[in-house]
Amino acid sequence: MAPTVASVSLVGAHRPPVPTTVRVNFHRIVMENTRLRTSFGAAFPTTMELTQITHEDDLNILGESIPMGASRRLDLGIARLFTHSPVEVPIIIERSTVPGPTVLITAGIHGDEVNGVEVVRQVISHGINKPAKGTVICIPVVNVFGFISKSRFFPDGRDLNRVFPGTKKGSLASRVAHRFTTEVLPLADLCLDFHTGGADRYNAAQVRIAPDDAAVKALADVFHAPFTLVSPYIARSYRETCGKLGIPLLLNESGMSMHLDKEMARRAVDGVIRLLNHLGMLAPGIRVPVPRHTNVLIDHHKWVRADRSGFLHVKVEMHQYVAVGDVLCTISDPYGSKSEPMMAQHAGYVINISRAPMVYQGDAIFNLAVQAPPGN
């Protein structure tokens, strides 16, 4: 796909063209992108540069050639069930007649993180993915195998978000990561990926960015989640792979696994609308929501661990600011003879709460963003 832009180097600096007939070698892509990023002096395109990117040619993806103004539903599926029934991984593609950037929106990398899937579902059902310019690619459920079994993992027991960029002849999870990384990801100028907390952990609405990443921080400011968490890359994660390719990615965390949270989903969808509007991609007629909350930057947080075992009774709310000495919870024995409070040892915002009914001593039950009081 041959891009044009006010300065062509803005696009070439982070995305080489993808051949349509062969799979692209990931390491070759990384080397090419590293050379170009070094040449142009920036790891990621700025928000201004993203708005200037245009792709006028057909979009070549998974053997299909998709012209401007077209809509397609493709299949990323790579394996079948034991019964030989096909497992479809739908990719919904919408292209405007007006050239512009390409935004890739994903969820369900962990199959049990259904609130992220709900976010992308709403983006599609409300027509937010039909851009005024450019292209929007949506994959609501990347890990369909885990989604079917209500599991974080693939049938091979592997976490898809720890095997990127994958290998062509590796495990099932690795093969899916490889196909995604080599045949879909290089087409993107910007990625949005939606997750929730795992197991019994309930995450505050947040986006995560790498340290000292001004370009992605600017995108996070536009998205305007309640919290922006500075978080280093995790080895072999999707976010790390995007970083190596020079493709900016906003990772959103909202809620907990196997739980739909209407308010959390709404805030995430609102962030998508604000971001597409900022890029000039939002279709006419879609209202741009004004944030009703502040965006708090978090660069330091502390886990609070249970000091005893027993029933967990949470006494604080998500996103609440707590002061030193505030009661976070009580932990009780099951026999009605003892119930002890746990106090906050640090002041800050509550950004993660365990929803486990019972905990062992040492279990992580809260995560507090260590902050000065609001307004200071």
Residue 307 sits in the same domain as residue 262: no
- pLDDT for residue 23 is more than 50: no
Residue 236 sits in the same domain as residue 317: no
Residue 23 sits in the same domain as residue 158: yes
Rounded CA-CA distance 177/165 in Å is 6
Domain that holds residue 19: 3-278
- Residue 355 belongs to domain with CATH number: 2.40.50.100
Residue 232 sits in the same domain as residue 364: no
Total domains in the fold of the chain: 2
N- to C-terminal Cα separation, the chain: 49
Say if pTM beats, i.e. exceeds, 0.85. Answer: yes
Q: In terms of pLDDT, which residue wins out, 376 or 273?
A: 273
Backbone angles phi, psi at 247, to 5 degrees: -105, 120
> Of 278, 294, 319, which residue sits at a domain end?
278
Question: Dihedral (C-alpha) 348, 352, 353, 354: value to the nearest 10 degrees?
Answer: -140
The percentage of the chain sitting over the pLDDT mark of 90, rounded to a whole number, equals 84
Q: For residue 283, is it within any domain?
A: no
Q: Which two tokens stand for residue 211?
A: 């340290």
pLDDT of residue 30: 57
Q: Coil, strand, or helix at residue 196?
A: strand
Residue 180 sits in the same domain as residue 313: no
Mean pLDDT computed over 39-59: 80
The burial class, CB within 10 Å (0-12 / 13-18 / 19+), for 200 is middle
Residue 73 sits in the same domain as residue 216: yes
Over residues 80-122, the pLDDT tens digits come to 999 999 999 999 999 999 999 999 999 999 999 999 999 999 9
Residue that is written with structure tokens 């998709």 in the block = 66
- pLDDT for residue 15 is more than 70: no
pLDDT of residue 47: 85
Q: For residue 292, is it within any domain?
A: no
Residue 177 sits in the same domain as residue 236: yes
Q: For residue 376, is it within any domain?
A: no
pLDDT band at 48, cuts 50/70/90? confident
Rounded CA-CA distance 152/21 in Å is 32
Q: For residue 338, is it within any domain?
A: yes
Q: For residue 288, is it within any domain?
A: no
Residue 176 sits in the same domain as residue 322: no
> Of 278, 293, 310, which residue sits at a domain end?
278
pLDDT of residue 371: 73
Over residues 338-348, the pLDDT tens digits come to 999 999 999 99
Residue 164 sits in the same domain as residue 272: yes
Pairs from 5-9 (Cβ < 8 Å, separation ≥ 24): 5/52, 5/53, 5/54, 6/52, 7/52, 9/40
> How many Cβ atoms are within 10 Å of 355's Cβ, its own excluded?
15
Distances in Å between the alpha carbon of 87 and those of 30, 80, 279? 30, 5, 34
Residue 61 sits in the same domain as residue 137: yes
pLDDT of residue 10: 35
